[in-house]
Amino acid sequence: MKLLKKALAVSMASAMVFAVAGCGSNDKPTDNPSDPGTAEVANKDKPLVWFNRQPSSSATGELDMNALNFNKDTYYVGFDANQGAELQGTMVMDYIEKNINTIDRNGDGIIGYVLAIGDIGHNDSIARTRGVRKALGTAVDKDGNVNSDPIGTNTEGTTAIVQDGTLEINGKTYIVRELASQEMKNSAGATWDAATAGNAIGTWASSFGDQIDIVVSNNDGMGMSMFNAWSKDNKVATFGYDANSDAVAAIAEGYGGTISQHADVQAYLTLRVLRNALDGVDIDTGIGTADDAGNVLSADVFKYNADERSYYALNVAVTADNYKDFMDSTMVYAPVSNQLDEAAHPTKNVWLNIYNSADNFLGSTYQPLLQKYDKLLNLKVEYIGGDGQTESNITNRLGNPSQFDAFAINMVKTDNAASYTSLLNQ
């Protein structure tokens, strides 16, 4: 009887410790002392990671902190959009300066560029548009930020959305002009649409082709569509973003360059934060602190913003100087490629969606990386591909969230986090 009473006392004490520990702040990553295998967890309390599309207002860019603080095990994983945008703009400007003697195709003293915009309401797209305009001197202020609106056509330099930049090299002054830009949205409403970009460059080229000296795109999917449709044959450098394998390989054929957003690090972080929450360990495990298999990331490839509960991978410019190092975009990052012991990290079920099954970057680079990391982290992931147009095409396939231990969500629109959290709150 005394032994029974003692056991009960220890059990009650442990329960009290668990209850207190479960009331921690959401301000920074914390240990989760619960053992997820001992009790059923409500869907609203299961680990959740938003990735690639940060919950935010498409109108203002303001973060949706309700979504980012959905529960104590909610995080966002993406990349440093502003740092990457700066890199892309700098990459384009460096190319212009190095090739100033040959880049002005019609000799009019105007370095003309066209810009493919992915999604006017997407934070990453907005940042990239701003980064290019800022670097090239074509930026115009709007409400305290660089105006990221598309201009349509601007061959005469008369729009108020952008301005003509100036560039002085070797005693000669050149004008830098954004000749045209548009959001690449198809008739069904899908954004970042490569086919639309290919059609756009055809239209622009037929109207003012000899004025186009540079092609810039918010991503490689659209950039490669324009490159293959026109700029490759006309030897016009095209710059994209994402470092997709086909774009990196195309640098040998004249593609100007791209930006690696360290998809290998992002994909790892997307699943790692879930693994840590499911294991009830410090969220930094296997990230900034080595795990029991030796996986760890160095500080030069990612950063964590506690106020935003967000992990950001850092970007690298990929040009003719280093592209051979980036030929395989689906290779896992070596420092975090060690298999976890299944005895210590038992298999868990994860529901994960890609907003558009046809998205070039997510489909050809990100998901293949996820599928390699899920095995290393002992996660059984159900992958859902959306149509790129409506949240319901995705949410309708989350009919039984109770059969999953965690969720990874890639929204169609950054405003729509509630479409998913409402299902988990039921």
Comparing C-alpha atoms, which of 276, 284, 289, 281 is closest to residue 304? 284
CB 301 within 8 A of CB 307: no
Share of the chain above pLDDT 90, in %: 87
Model-level pTM? 0.78
Phi, then psi, of 201 in degrees rounded to 5: -65, -30
Selection from 242, 269, 373, 260 nearest residue 325 by Cα = 260
- Does the pLDDT value for residue 18 go beyond 50? no
- Per-residue pLDDT, 257: 98
Q: Which residue has the tokens 């622009």?
A: 204
Residues 6+ apart with CB under 8 A from 248: 258, 318, 323, 326, 327, 329
Terminal Cα-to-Cα distance of the chain (whole angstroms): 43
Range list for CATH 3.40.50.2300 in the chain: 82-260
Residue 38 has pLDDT above 60, yes or no: no
Q: Distance between CA 372 and CA 368 in Å, rounded?
A: 6
How many C-beta atoms surround the C-beta of residue 6 within 10 A? 10
Model confidence band, residue 81 (pLDDT cutoffs 50, 70, 90): confident
pLDDT score for 59: 83
Q: What is the pLDDT of residues 155-193, one digit of tens each?
A: 999 999 999 999 999 999 999 999 999 999 999 999 999
pLDDT at res. 58 = 85
Mean pLDDT of the chain: 91
**Cross-strand pairs, 75:** 49
Q: CA torsion sign, 271 to 274 to 280 to 286?
A: positive
Mean pLDDT of 339-360: 97
Cα torsion angle, 269, 271, 276, 277, sign:
positive
* Portion of the chain with pLDDT greater than 70, in percent: 91
124: its two tokens: 């990453």
Any idea which residue has 């220890």 for tokens?
10
Taking phi first (over 0 means left), then psi (-120 to 50 degrees means alpha), and beta for anything else, what does residue 147 get? beta
pLDDT in tens, 267-306: 999 999 999 999 999 999 999 999 999 999 999 999 999 9
Query: Taking residues 345-366, what's their average pLDDT?
Result: 96
Q: How far apart are CA 257 and CA 218, in angstroms?
A: 12
Which distant-in-sequence residues (6+ apart) come within 8 Å of 268 by Cβ? 297, 332, 333, 336, 369, 373
Closest Cα to residue 106, out of 160, 155, 158? Answer: 155
CATH of 82-260, one of 3.40.50.2300, 3.40.50.1000, 3.20.20.80, 3.30.1300.10: 3.40.50.2300
- CA 217 to CA 212: how far, in whole Å? 14
